[in-house]
Amino acid sequence: MNSDRAAIAHRVGFASLVGLIVLAVLWEWLLAPIRPGGSWLVLKALPLLIPLRGICADCARRRYTYQWSTMFILVYFAEGVVRAWSDVTMLSRSLAGLELLLCSVFFVAAIVYVRSQPSPLTRR
pLDDT digits (tens, 9 = 90+) for 19-70: 999 999 999 888 887 777 777 888 999 999 999 988 988 766 788 899 999 9
Given a cut of 60, is residue 124 above it in pLDDT? Answer: no
Query: Which contacts (CB < 8 Å, 24+ apart) does range 18-24 have?
Result: 18/52, 19/102, 20/48, 20/73, 20/76, 20/99, 20/102, 20/103, 20/106, 21/45, 21/48, 21/49, 21/52, 23/95, 23/98, 23/99, 23/102, 24/48, 24/76, 24/99
The overall average pLDDT reported for the chain is 89
Between 112 and 42, whose confidence is greater? 112
pLDDT at residue 106 tops 90: yes
Return the closest-CA partner of residue 32 out of 117, 92, 90: 92
Q: State residue 120's pLDDT score.
A: 67
- Residues 21 and 49 sit within 8 Å (Cβ to Cβ): yes
Beta strands in the chain (DSSP E): none
% of residues, the chain, pLDDT over 70:
94
pLDDT band (50, 70, 90) for residue 122: low
> Would the pLDDT of 93 be above 80?
yes
Residue 25 near residue 108 (C-beta atoms within 8 A) = no
pLDDT at 84 over 90: yes
Q: Give the whole-angstrom CA distance, residue 27 versus residue 93.
A: 11
